[in-house]
Structure 1
Amino acid sequence: MAIPVQIRVQAALSQVIYGLPKPLRRLIAGKPVRLDGQELALDAQLLLRLQQLSGAELSNGDVGESRTNLAAARHLVSGKPIGPMSTRELKIPGPGGDIPATLYTPAGLAEPSGLLVYFHGGGWVIGDRDSHDNTTRFLAKHAGVRVLSVEYRLAPDHPWPAAPEDCVAAFDYAHAKASELGADPARIAVGGDSAGGNLAAVVSQVTTRRGGPAPKFQLLFYPATDFSTRRRSREIFGIGFFLTDESMDWFSGHYQADETDPLASPLLADDVSGLPPAYIATAGFDPLRDEGEAYAKKLQDAGVSVALSRQDDLIHGYVNFLGVGTRFREAVSEAAGALRLGLSKE
């Protein structure tokens, strides 16, 4: 699909602004933001300022329009496609019909390799493989793995538990078809950001508890883990930091999940022992920060190996901002290193 001229102009302008000397970028962004003992990264503050000037919102009341806006906005922040990379379109049999997916393979990657089954963010309502195309490309290239990006069913068209059901089916497919995907069935991870991080955590729990194939590793970026409780970070960072308290209510209202069921709130699971090792990243200026860190602690208390990394100067959504500044790439590079280690041969 051709990128609209207006979006191309805005993207070029963003690159110009991020290329300015630091004093000028600071002048545009405003005075440093310090909150809860943290200082917001200039790259993040500048992005929020540009968002404010453009009037863009993550959700605006209309589902279709919100999806369209996200599809357009990705061209402003995701950057040029990362390669060299081959892609293959797949259809995964699922409980509600075929699930579209894309397999990303970095050039020259030998078989069999590790494989990341990735679930995109977007509040279970918006987002798709395209909105996270460069995120999955980045992880594939810098972790040295194949990535299977899954387009699970979205609410409100398909309310909970359609999304977790699709994601479990996608992991099972990846394990069963590993050789056809060029992957090692013993080195398959699940991962995702925000709603996708929630789904990856749910998949890890479901597959571990039922017995049989389960992921070797979890890669969770600022996951939503508990619908039932409003934690302190949601009160502090609920306005003005990309993901808002109002947006969270909008997303959860469309998802229609049972807030106390671990299929929606993995933090509420009675038993999390025996789950795969996890890298859990949170963002300091994120309403979901505290519930992501509470999940990390719960896993640690149950004896699960967890690397918790709070990117204390960043905002929710940073895995999608790879095309502007440098700070976002630094954070995702750390995660790619963790994934590479998590899927390394023993």
Structure 2
Amino acid sequence: MSDSPWWQPHRHADRRPALMARNRIQRAIRDWLDDNGFAEVDPSALAVSPGNETHLHGFATEMVGNDGKARAMYLHTSPEFAMKKLLAAGEPRIAAFSHVWRNRERGKLHHPEFTMLEWYRAGEDYTVLMDDCADFLMLAAEAAGANEFRWRDSVCDPYASPERVSVAEAFADFAGIDLLATISADGATDRDGLAAQLDKAGIARALHDSWSDLFSRALAERVEPHLGRGCATILDRYPAPEAALARRAPDDPRVSERFELYACGVELANGFGELTDPAEQRARFQHDMAERARIYGDAYPLDEDFLAALAIMPEASGIALGFDRLVMLATSAPSVEAVMWAPVAG
């Protein structure tokens, strides 16, 4: 790819077909959302907390009041907290195309500012979101005029029904790891047991890796490259320790109602059966922020309004999809930046 800036006319001429496809894809999804009774909402980007997951890095700023006093604020990493407040307020089906910001993230599949499509269904099971995902894959392909999705050496048929596999099954099949043997019913994990299994599988690790670090290493090295090849993959029933905002599966407390959607080995979406217990959510956030402080030396505040809203929020399912990644795959673009109208400089 040329090193000249994206705003040079010759570069823009090369990029424009994919950008126009982006507009068509967004329009098609918006029409689908409207036809299916979703209200499109527009959450504020400024938030008292950027999110409370251990490895998410927010952009900090200040909000100065009329009295001249400054208050710490953040650009959100997801519109999730605001949208769940709208569920608590009584909205039954909502969706948003939101610009979100994540620090320390830039590459072919990452950008510090990107577009997230997030939608929620009150009173509906999280498996319904899997059908939504299948529809959006087809809509994106149709709008882009694509017969297939392509990323590097991987090809995926967006018109085929996605396969559904549990995380435990995928770890067993692709890494030879019995993941559930390292998780107890109360969510406690056996770090040493998982480390021994990674060693046996020949997966490199660091001496002080936590259970979560070990899980991520095995997922990235042995599992993800096999997902979404030929057809999309729904990787379901994530371990409970890896699902801070999802409720536990009723048939096995070691796993949660969380899935991720993959196409061409690329993670596209992250869906949940939403946790609505404010006490449990607070405890999970506090645990993750303690981990964050240990690893990075800082922590983010909790959104107390969000925790209060959970007490009246109905049972719901929700999901976030990386819209730029979807467009990238539908247009066979080399990176998410190639399908952004005006990428961040630098």
Report the TM-score range of the alignment, normalised by the length of the smaller protein: under 0.3
Structure in which a larger fraction of residues adopt strand: 2
Q: Using structure 1 for the length normalisation, give the TM-score.
A: 0.26
Using CA pairs under 8 Å that are at least 6 residues apart, name the structure with larger relative contact order, 1 or 2: 2
Which protein shows a greater Rg? 2
Q: Using structure 2 for the length normalisation, give the TM-score.
A: 0.26
